[in-house]
């Protein structure tokens, strides 16, 4: 039987999502917990990888198992063996043709940024930080220039394994609550470090170091050297994938209402 699970996690203590020899990844911890609950090895496939320090509100995975349990049992039973900063949010049986990565129509991320003369303390590791004020109008102008289908090579990490740098950015929303900015991105897929590299460029525009039109030049250059340095992973959250309604999967978790 095939199951889909949604996982929320804080990424500060982990070397990213994908399993590594160190064992210090979210996938390693999840599969170990699933194995203890199911009393047999369980291998998961995720909707989208996250880097070290990046958080997840609704990472979706699927796995196959002969073990029969009720959905709530997969949630509560697996969570019993997970650390406090990782939790299964929901579990649901899915058809064999469902694939958490291949069936995703889009992925969504949010970046939370604190604008303050004082660095984060209570929210350390959970928000990015700038101490110079940001100007909203040029920020929005620059962001709009990234919408549509583009070659995002300039925002691609050298270690990126994607077959093509061409992606479709469907939506970028910028909101503000007091000193906290929230940048929300939705695209068919993302390259390695793509959002963090975009954030580096947006911050430079927002601080007046570059004009909004500079974003066009960075895109056209198709060179990582043309863009700003990679921004901190601290404020980056994987909101989760977007699926067709026919799969009947939840679209959000409770953490969506907690995140600024």
Reported confidence tier of residue 58, pLDDT bands at 50, 70, 90: very high
Domain with CATH 3.30.70.660 in the chain: 106-237
Structure tokens at 148: 């549509």
- Kindly state the percentage of the chain with pLDDT values over 70: 100
Q: Which of 15, 28, 39, 51 is catalytic?
A: 51
Q: Is the dihedral of CA 46, 18, 233, 170 positive or negative?
A: negative
Structure tokens at 217: 């030049």
Domain with CATH 3.30.70.580 in the chain: 2-103
Whether 51 is catalytic: yes
pLDDT in tens, 139-160: 999 999 999 999 999 999 988 8
Distance of CA 203 to the CA centre of its chain: 19
In three-state form (DSSP H/G/I as H, E/B as E, the rest C), the secondary structure along 52-109 is CCCEEEEEEEEEECCCCCCHHHHHHHHHCCCCCCEEEEEEEEECCCCCCCCCCCEEEE
* pLDDT in the model for residue 158: 84
In three-state form (DSSP H/G/I as H, E/B as E, the rest C), the secondary structure along 213-225 is CHHHHHHHHCCHH
CATH number for domain 106-237, candidates 3.10.129.10, 3.30.70.660, 3.40.630.30, 3.40.50.300:
3.30.70.660
pTM: 0.95
CATH number for domain 2-103, candidates 3.40.50.300, 3.20.20.100, 3.30.70.580, 3.30.70.1150:
3.30.70.580
pLDDT in tens, 14-24: 999 999 998 99
* pLDDT in the model for residue 160: 85
More confident residue, 78 or 260: 78
Q: Pick from 35, 18, 36: which is nearest to 27 by CA?
A: 18
């Amino acid at each position: 039987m095939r199951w889909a699970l949604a996982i929320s996690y804080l990424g500060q203590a982990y070397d990213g999502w994908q399993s590594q020899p160190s064992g210090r990844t979210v996938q390693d911890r999840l599969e170990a917990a699933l194995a203890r609950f199911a009393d047999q090895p369980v291998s998961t496939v995720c909707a989208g990888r996250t880097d070290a320090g990046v958080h997840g509100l609704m990472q979706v995975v699927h796995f196959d198992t002969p073990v029969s349990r009720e959905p709530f049992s997969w949630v509560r039973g697996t969570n019993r063996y997970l650390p406090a900063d990782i939790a299964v949010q929901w579990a649901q049986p899915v058809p064999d043709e469902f694939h958490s990565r291949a069936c995703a129509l889009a992925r969504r991320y949010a970046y939370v940024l604190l604008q303050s003369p004082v660095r984060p303390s209570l929210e350390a590791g959970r928000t990015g930080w700038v101490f110079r004020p940001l100007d909203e109008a040029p920020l929005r102008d620059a962001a709009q220039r990234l919408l549509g289908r583009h070659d995002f090579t300039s925002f691609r990490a050298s270690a990126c394994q994607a077959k093509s740098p061409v992606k479709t950015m469907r939506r970028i929303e910028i909101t503000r609550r007091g000193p906290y900015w929230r940048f929300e991105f939705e695209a068919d897929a993302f390259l390695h470090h793509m959002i963090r590299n975009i954030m580096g460029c947006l911050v430079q525009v927002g601080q007046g170091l570059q004009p909004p039109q500079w974003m066009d030049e960075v895109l056209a250059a198709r060179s990582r050297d043309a863009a700003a340095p990679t921004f901190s992973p601290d404020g980056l959250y994987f909101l989760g994938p977007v699926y067709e309604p026919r799969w009947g999967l939840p679209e959000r978790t409770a953490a969506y209402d907690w995140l600024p």
